């Protein structure tokens, strides 16, 4: 299985930290955020990794190189200076991702979900990992229905963690260019083709300097 780390965002909420440094290279407990994600993927046996790049992307590529120092094989999907949003970025990277289901992980989260459980998982168009709603996103995104089917309508909703397993067919009918992921997911959910599961462990969206500081403190205390 291959994996894609989403690393093309501008990181507006992280300013001024991201004025000169891309968010995935911000440091927590002495290590860039994206390195923790790479290490988690490799630990799960996923060593073929694609990283999309836009804002200050060459800094990421220069830092990580081909990934050999992490026992990984890293390739890059360049999107230009602005980026293509999530679905557009994945569509752009499909030639590198291949024809089989692949894992997508946001480059700005910290999570202890066991990624190895997704390696041989059978899916339709997608399988999303959900978490309990954090204080900064109290309304959630999707609800869990019987047979692990996800819905964007009704019920108690949970937050999408930024970890998802996707089939390339989900992106087959969108045009190249900028495109958001949520509309694709909602359409597929209406057809009951997206499943999910709830993760009760550690999860943080490192979207602000305050949350980065919180993660830094948590990691240092855990050592």
The strand pairing partners of 51, in sequence order, are: 5, 76
pTM of the model: 0.95
Q: Give the bridge partners for 104, in sequence order.
A: 4, 164
Residue 29: count of CB within 10 angstroms of its CB: 14
Terminal Cα-to-Cα distance of the chain (whole angstroms):
31
- What does the pLDDT read at residue 154? 81
In contact, 124 and 193? CB cutoff 8 Å: yes
pLDDT in tens, the chain (223 residues): 999 999 998 878 888 888 899 999 999 888 999 999 999 999 999 999 999 999 899 999 999 999 999 999 999 999 988 889 999 999 999 999 999 999 999 999 999 999 999 999 999 999 999 999 999 899 999 999 999 999 998 888 999 999 999 999 999 999 999 999 999 999 999 999 999 999 999 999 998 989 988 888 888 766 6
Contacts of 20 (CB under 8 A, 6+ apart): 56
Q: Is the peptide bond before 47 cis (omega within 30 degrees of 0)?
A: no
Domains and CATH numbers, the chain: 2-222 (3.90.550.10)
**Confidence at residue 13, expressed as pLDDT on a 0 to 100 scale:** 84
Query: Given the DSSP bridges, would you call strands 48-53 and 150-151 parallel, antiparallel or unpaired?
Result: unpaired
Backbone angles phi, psi at 151, to 5 degrees: -140, 145
Q: CA-to-CA distance for 187 and 184, rounded, in angstroms? A: 5
Distances (CA, A) of 171 to 93, 160, 174: 11, 19, 6
Q: Which two tokens stand for residue 119?
A: 């390696």
- pLDDT reported for residue 81: 82
């Amino acid at each position: 299985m291959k994996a894609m780390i989403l690393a093309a965002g501008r990181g507006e909420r992280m300013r001024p930290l991201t004025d000169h440094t891309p968010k995935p290279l911000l440091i927590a407990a002495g290590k860039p955020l994206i390195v923790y994600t790479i290490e988690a993927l490799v630990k799960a046996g996923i060593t073929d990794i694609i990283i999309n790049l836009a804002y200050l992307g060459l800094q990421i590529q220069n830092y990580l190189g081909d990934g050999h120092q992490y026992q990984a094989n890293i390739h890059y999907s360049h999107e230009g200076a602005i980026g293509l949003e999530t679905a557009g970025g994945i569509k752009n990277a499909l030639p590198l991702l291949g024809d089989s289901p692949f894992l997508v992980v946001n480059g700005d989260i910290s999570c202890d979900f066991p990624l190895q459980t997704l390696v041989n998982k059978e899916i339709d168009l997608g399988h999303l990992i959900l978490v309990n709603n954090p204080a900064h996103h109290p309304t959630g995104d999707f609800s869990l229905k019987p047979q692990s089917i996800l819905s964007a309508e009704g019920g108690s909703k949970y937050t999408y963690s930024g970890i998802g397993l996707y089939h390339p067919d989900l992106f087959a009918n969108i045009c190249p260019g900028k495109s958001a992921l949520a509309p694709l997911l909602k359409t597929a959910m209406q057809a009951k083709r997206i499943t999910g599961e709830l993760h009760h462990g550690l999860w943080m969206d490192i979207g602000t300097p305050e949350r980065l500081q919180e993660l830094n403190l948590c990691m240092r205390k855990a050592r």
